[in-house]
Structure 1
Amino acid sequence: MTGEHQTLALFLFSGFVAVTLGITTWVSRRRRGSAEEFYAGGRLFSPMENGFAIAGDYMSAASFLGVTGLIALYGYDGLLYVVGFLVAWLVVLFLVAELVRNCGRFTLADVVAARMSERPVRIAVGTSSVTVSVLYLVAQMVGAGSLVALLLGRTSEAAQAWTVIGVGALMVIYVSLGGMRATTWIQIVKAVLLLSGTVALTVLVLLRFHGDFDRLLLAAAERSGHGRAFLAPGLKYGGNWTARLDFISLGLALVLGTAGLPHILSRFYTVPTARAARRSAVWSIGLIGGFYLMTIVLGLGAAAVVGTNAVRASNAAGNTAVPLLALDLGGGAGSTGGTVLFAIVAAVAFATILAVVAGLTLASSASVAHDLYASLRRPHGKARSEVAVARFAALGIGVVAIAIGLLARDLNIAYLVGLAFAVAASANLPVLLYSLFWRGFTTRGAVWAVYGGLIPALGLVALSPVVSGSPGSLFPGADFQYFPLQNPGIVSIPLGFLAGWLGTVTSDEVADEAKFAETEVRSLTGAGAV
C-alpha cells in the first residue's frame, strides 16, 4: 500500500478514536458512579437507541471482514454464517429478550441465581461468560491486526502486534472511564458508520454490474477458480462426513449461540421495560438483517472484482476481502478514489472493532465483579466497590485477549467467532432456558449444565484442527488433533442440556416451587422487575 493509503487511513482511524475518547470523557464527567449507571447506563436508553447499539455490538469484524471473506473464498458455503447470524435473532426475540429483562439486573447469572443457591451458580455462569467474551475478543483483535497488515504490508508483524495492543488499551479506557453509557453511544456511532459504508459499497458493486445480479454471480464463479461449484453447496463443507458434520455443528452454534452471548444479553438491561427490550430486538433485527443481505453482495463482489486468488494471497483467511474490494471499486491502487474509499472502509472496520471490544470488555468485567468477586470475596475481608473491581477486571481481560489475539492472528475472524458462539450455546443457553422454563430445575442442575457444556466445548476445541495438526492452526508444528471437527457445537451443545437434566434428576434438592412461581410471574409480566 502506498503512503497515501497509510496517511489517509491512519488519519481517519485517529479521527474516530478521538471522537470516541471525547464521548467517553464527556460521559465520565457526568456519571454518578453507581453500579446501575456503570453496568446498565441508568436504564435510560430508548428502544431505537438500544436497537442501534445492539446492532453495533453484534455487527462485528467477524461480519464485515470475516463473513465477506468466507463468501469470497467459498461462495455458497460462506452464506451459512449470514443465515446463522440472522436466524439466531428469532431465538433471542421469542425466547430471551423480555424474559431476561424482567428477571435479571446486570448479568446472565442474575437470571439463574433468582431461584437457585447463589454462590455456586454465580461462579459457574460468571466463569462461562468471561470465557465466551474472551474468545469473542480474540476475533476482534485478529481483525485489527489483519487491517493493519494490509495497510502497512504483510511483513509488518510488529505493526500488527502493536495494533492489537493498542486496541486492547483503548477498550480498557472506554470501559473504565465511561461504562455502559459511553459504550452504548460508541456502538450507535459505529452502527451508523458501518451501515452507511456497507450501503455505499453495495451500490458501487451493483453499479459495476449494471444492477444485474446474475452477471455478478457468473463473474464471481468465473474468477473464483471453481466455476459453477462456487455457487453450489459443498465447496467448504462437502465431500466427506467430517465436513458435513462440521456444517451442521457450525449451524447449530450460530443459531443457538446468540441467545447465550453475555454482551448481547446485557444490552437488554439498558432499557426501562420488557416492552422496550422487545422493541429493541425488533429494531436490531431490521438493521442486522439489512446489513447481512448486503454482505452477500460484498462477498460475491470481492470474488468477482478482486478475484478469489488475490483475496487469498492478501490474507489466507480472507479477512481483507472488503478493503481490497473498496480499493478496486474506487479506481484501483494508486488512484485518488481508490485511496479514499480504501481508507474509509478500513477506518469503518477499525471503528467496528473498537465498538465491539468495548461491549465485550464491559460484559466480561461485569461478570467478574458482579458474579465472581461478589461470590468469592471472604465474608470478613475488606469490601471494594463492584465498579472499582470491574475496572481492574477490564485491565486483566484486556491483557489476556491481547495475548491470545497475537497467537491467533492467522485464523479467519468469522471462524473464531463461531467457536465463541459454540461455547455460549453449550454452556450459557442450557442453564438460561432450564431456569426460565423448567419448574423442577435445581442448583446442581444449573452448575452441571454450565460446566457440562463449557468443559467439553473447550476440550474439543483444544483437540481439534484449530489448535494443532494443520498448517492454519494455532500451533502448526504440533499435532495433538484427536477431534476431527473444527466446531464442537454438535457434541458440546447436547452435552450441556444433558448435563443440566442429569444434575437435576440426581439431586437431593427439592426445587422451590414458590421461587419458580415468582420467577415465572416476573418473567412474563414484569411484576417486581428492577
Structure 2
Amino acid sequence: MTVHHQTLALLLFSAFVAVTLGITTWVSRKRHGSAEEFYAGGRLFSPMENGFAIAGDYMSAASFLGVAGLIALFGYDGLLYAVGFLVAWLVVLLLVAELVRNCGRFTLADVIAARMSERPVRIAVGASSVTVSVLYLVAQMVGAGSLVALLLGRTSEAAQAWTVIGVGALMVIYVSLGGMRATTWIQIVKAVLLMGGTVVLTVLVLLRFHGDVDRLLLTAAERSGHGRAFLAPGLKYGGSWSERLDFISLGLALVLGTAGLPHILSRFYTVPTARAARRSVVWAIGLIGSFYLMTIVLGFGAAAVVGPDAVRASNEAGNTAMPLLALDLGGGSGSTGGTVLFAVVAAVAFATILAVVAGITLASSASVAHDLYASLRRSHARHRSEVGVARTAAVGIGVVAIALGLLARDMNVAFLVGLAFAVAASANLPVLLYSLFWRNFTTRGAVWAVYGGLVPALALVVLSPVVSGSPGALFPGVDFQYFPLQNPGIVSVPLGFLAGWLGTVTSDEVPDEARHAETEVRSLTGAGAV
C-alpha cells in the first residue's frame, strides 16, 4: 500500500479511537461503581439502542472480513457462514432472549444457578464462558493483524504484532474504565459506521455491473477458475465424506452457537424489561439480516472484481478481500478515490474489531468476577470488590487473547469464530435449555452438561487438522491429528446434551419443586426480574 493509504487509514482509525476513548472517559466519570452499572449499564438502554449494540457486538471481524473472504475464495460454500450467523438469531429470539432477561442478573450462570447448587454450577459455566470468549477474541486479533499486514505491505511482522497488542490494550481500557455503558455506545457507533460502509460498497459493486446480479455472479465464476462449480455446493465441503460431515458440523455450530455466546446473552440484561429484550432482538435481526445480504454481494463482488488469486496473494485465508475490493472500486491503487475508500474500509474494520473485543472482554471478565471469584469467596465478596476483580480479569484475558491471536494469525477469522460457536453450542446451550425447560434437571446434570460439551469440543479441536497434520494448521510441522473434522460441533453438541441428561438421571438429588415453579413463573412473566 502507498504512504497515502497508510496515513489516511491510520488517521481515520485514530479518529475513531479518540471518539470512543472520549465516550469511555465521559462515562467513567458518571459511573457509580456498582456491579449493576458496570455489568449492565444500569439497565437503561432502549430496545433500539440495545438492538444496534447487539448488532455491533455480533457483526465482528468474522462477518466483515472473514465471510466476504470465504465467499470470494469458495463461492457458494462460503454462504454457509452468512446463512448460519443469521438463522441463529431465530433460535435466540424464540427460545432464550425473553427467558434469559427474566431469570438472570448479569451472566449466563445466573440463569442456571437460580434453581441449582450455586457454587459448582457457577464455576462450570464461568469456566465455559471464559473459554468461549477467549476463542472469539482470538478471531478478532487475527483480523486486526491481517489488516495491518495489508496496510503495511506485509513488510513488518513486528508492526503486525504490536498492532495486535495495541488492540488488546485498548479493549482493556474500554472495559476497565467504562464498563457496559461505554462498551454499548462504542458498539452503537461502530454499528452505524459498519452499516454505512457496507451500504456504500454494495452500491458501488452493483453499479460496476449495472445492477445485473447474474452478470456479477457469472463474472465471479469465470475469474474463480472453477466455472459454474463456484456457484454450486461442494467446492470447499463437497469432496470426501469428512468434508461433507464438516459442512454439517459447521452449520450445526453456527445455528446453535449464538444462543450460548456469553457476550450476546449479557446484552439482554441492559434493557429494563423482557419486552424490551424481545424488541432488541427484532432490531438486531433487521440490521444483521441486511448486513449479511450485503456481505454476500460483496463476497461475490470481490471474486468478480479483484479475483480469488489476488485475494490469496494478499492473505491466504481471504481476510483482506473486503479492503482490496474497496481499493479497486475507488479507482485502484494510487488513485485518490481508491485511497479514500480503502482507508475508510480499513478504519471501519478496525472499529469493528475494537467494539467487538470490548464486548467480549466485558462478558468474560464478568464471568470471572461474578461467577468464579464470587463463588469461591461468596461470604467476603462485595459489589465493589467484584467490580475490581472484573477489571483485573480483563487484563489477564486480554493477554491470553493477544498471545493466541499472534499464534493463529494465518487463519480465516470466520473459521476461528466457527470454533467458538461450536464450543458455545456444546457447553452453554445444553445447560441453558435444560435449565429453562426441564423440570427435573439437577445440579449434577448442569455440571455434566457443561463439561460434557466443553471438554470434548476442546479435545477434538486439539486433535483436528486445525492444530496439526495439515499445511494450514497452527503447528504444521507436527502431526497428532486423530479427528478428521475441522469443526467438532457434530460430535460435541450431542455429547453436551447427552451428558446433561445422563447426569440428571443418575443423580440422587431431588429437584426443588418450589424453586423450579418460582423460576418458571419468573421466566414466563418477568415477575421479580431485576
Tell me the TM-score normalized by structure 2. 0.99
Give the C-alpha shift of residue 515 in structure 1.
Answer: 0.7
What is the SS of the residue equivalent to 1:384?
helix
Matches within 5 A, 1:29-108: 29-108=29-108
Give the C-alpha shift of residue 155 in structure 1.
Answer: 3.1
Give the C-alpha shift of residue 171 in structure 1.
Answer: 0.2
Cα–Cα, structure 1 residues 209 and 497, in superposed 2: closer, same or farther, change >3 Å?
Answer: same
Give the C-alpha shift of residue 156 in structure 1.
Answer: 1.5
Unaligned runs of 5+ in 2: none
Give the C-alpha shift of residue 172 in structure 1.
Answer: 0.2
Cα–Cα, structure 1 residues 378 and 52, in superposed 2: closer, same or farther, change >3 Å?
Answer: closer
Per-residue CA deviations over 1:293-323 (Å, capped at 9, x if unaligned) read 0000000000000001000110000000000
Q: How far apart in 2 are the matches of 1:359 and 1:510?
A: 38
Cα–Cα, structure 1 residues 239 and 34, in superposed 2: closer, same or farther, change >3 Å?
Answer: same
Give the C-alpha shift of residue 382 in structure 1.
Answer: 10
Structure 1: 4+ residue segments shifted above 4 A: 378-384
Indicate the residue corresponding to 1:437 in structure 2: 437
Is the Cα contact below 8 Å between 2:457 and 2:492 reproduced in 1? yes
Q: How far apart in 1 are the matches of 2:473 and 2:34?
A: 44
What is the SS of the residue equivalent to 1:385?
helix
Per-residue CA deviations over 1:107-160 (Å, capped at 9, x if unaligned) read 000000000000000000000000000000000000000000000012321111
Give the C-alpha shift of residue 403 in structure 1.
Answer: 0.5
Give the C-alpha shift of residue 383 in structure 1.
Answer: 9.4
Cα–Cα, structure 1 residues 45 and 383, in superposed 2: closer, same or farther, change >3 Å?
Answer: closer
Per-residue CA deviations over 1:204-238 (Å, capped at 9, x if unaligned) read 00000000000000000000111110000000000
Per-residue CA deviations over 1:422-450 (Å, capped at 9, x if unaligned) read 00000000000000000000000000000
Q: Which moved more, 1:197-206 or 1:509-518?
A: 509-518
Give the C-alpha shift of residue 471 in structure 1.
Answer: 1.1
Q: How far apart in 1 are the matches of 2:42 and 2:496?
A: 34
Give the C-alpha shift of residue 372 in structure 1.
Answer: 0.1
What is the SS of the residue equivalent to 1:479?
coil
Q: How far apart in 1 are the matches of 2:431 and 2:11?
A: 46
Is the Cα contact below 8 Å between 2:33 and 2:384 reproduced in 1? no
Cα–Cα, structure 1 residues 410 and 207, in superposed 2: closer, same or farther, change >3 Å?
Answer: same
Q: How far apart in 1 are the matches of 2:248 and 2:382?
A: 50
Per-residue CA deviations over 1:257-312 (Å, capped at 9, x if unaligned) read 00000000000000000000000000000000000000000000000000010001
Give the C-alpha shift of residue 381 in structure 1.
Answer: 8.9
Q: Which moved more, 1:471-480 or 1:315-324?
A: 471-480
Per-residue CA deviations over 1:57-111 (Å, capped at 9, x if unaligned) read 0000000000000000000000000110000000000000000000000000000
Cα–Cα, structure 1 residues 515 and 302, in superposed 2: closer, same or farther, change >3 Å?
Answer: same
CA RMSD of aligned residues (A): 1.0
Is the Cα contact below 8 Å between 2:250 and 2:418 reproduced in 1? yes
Cα–Cα, structure 1 residues 502 and 472, in superposed 2: closer, same or farther, change >3 Å?
Answer: same
Indicate the residue corresponding to 1:121 in structure 2: 121
Is the Cα contact below 8 Å between 2:422 and 2:493 reproduced in 1? yes
- The alignment of Structure 1 onto Structure 2 pairs a total of residues equal to 530
Is the Cα contact below 8 Å between 2:34 and 2:384 reproduced in 1? no
Per-residue CA deviations over 1:342-398 (Å, capped at 9, x if unaligned) read 000000000000000000000000000000001122857999711000000000000
Is the Cα contact below 8 Å between 2:35 and 2:384 reproduced in 1? no
Give the C-alpha shift of residue 420 in structure 1.
Answer: 0.1
Cα–Cα, structure 1 residues 449 and 212, in superposed 2: closer, same or farther, change >3 Å?
Answer: same
Cα–Cα, structure 1 residues 383 and 520, in superposed 2: closer, same or farther, change >3 Å?
Answer: closer
Q: How far apart in 2 are the matches of 1:275 and 1:382?
A: 31
Matches within 5 A, 1:353-368: 353-368=353-368
Indicate the residue corresponding to 2:294 in structure 1: 294
Is the Cα contact below 8 Å between 2:84 and 2:251 reproduced in 1? yes
Unaligned runs of 5+ in 1: none
Cα–Cα, structure 1 residues 381 and 84, in superposed 2: closer, same or farther, change >3 Å?
Answer: closer
Cα–Cα, structure 1 residues 297 and 516, in superposed 2: closer, same or farther, change >3 Å?
Answer: same
Cα–Cα, structure 1 residues 334 and 380, in superposed 2: closer, same or farther, change >3 Å?
Answer: closer
Q: How far apart in 2 are the matches of 1:164 and 1:122?
A: 31
Q: How far apart in 2 are the matches of 1:160 and 1:428?
A: 33
What is the SS of the residue equivalent to 2:384?
coil
Is the Cα contact below 8 Å between 2:45 and 2:270 reproduced in 1? yes
Cα–Cα, structure 1 residues 309 and 30, in superposed 2: closer, same or farther, change >3 Å?
Answer: same
Percent sequence identity is: 90
Is 1:285 aligned to residue 285 of structure 2?
yes
Q: How far apart in 1 are the matches of 2:90 and 2:115?
A: 26
Q: How far apart in 2 are the matches of 1:496 and 1:365?
A: 24
What is the SS of the residue equivalent to 1:233?
coil
Q: How far apart in 2 are the matches of 1:156 and 1:79?
A: 33
Q: How far apart in 1 are the matches of 2:389 and 2:503?
A: 32
Q: How far apart in 1 are the matches of 2:441 and 2:31?
A: 39
Is the Cα contact below 8 Å between 2:306 and 2:328 reproduced in 1? yes
What is the SS of the residue equivalent to 2:487?
coil
Cα–Cα, structure 1 residues 413 and 174, in superposed 2: closer, same or farther, change >3 Å?
Answer: same
Q: How far apart in 2 are the matches of 1:28 and 1:198?
A: 31
Cα–Cα, structure 1 residues 266 and 382, in superposed 2: closer, same or farther, change >3 Å?
Answer: closer
Tell me the TM-score normalized by structure 1. 0.99
Q: How far apart in 2 are the matches of 1:297 and 1:323?
A: 14
Indicate the residue corresponding to 2:199 in structure 1: 199
Matches within 5 A, 1:376-525: 376-377=376-377, 379=379, 385-525=385-525
Q: How far apart in 1 are the matches of 2:48 and 2:379?
A: 42
Is the Cα contact below 8 Å between 2:34 and 2:383 reproduced in 1? no
Q: Which moved more, 1:378-387 or 1:225-234?
A: 378-387
Q: How far apart in 2 are the matches of 1:379 and 1:455?
A: 30
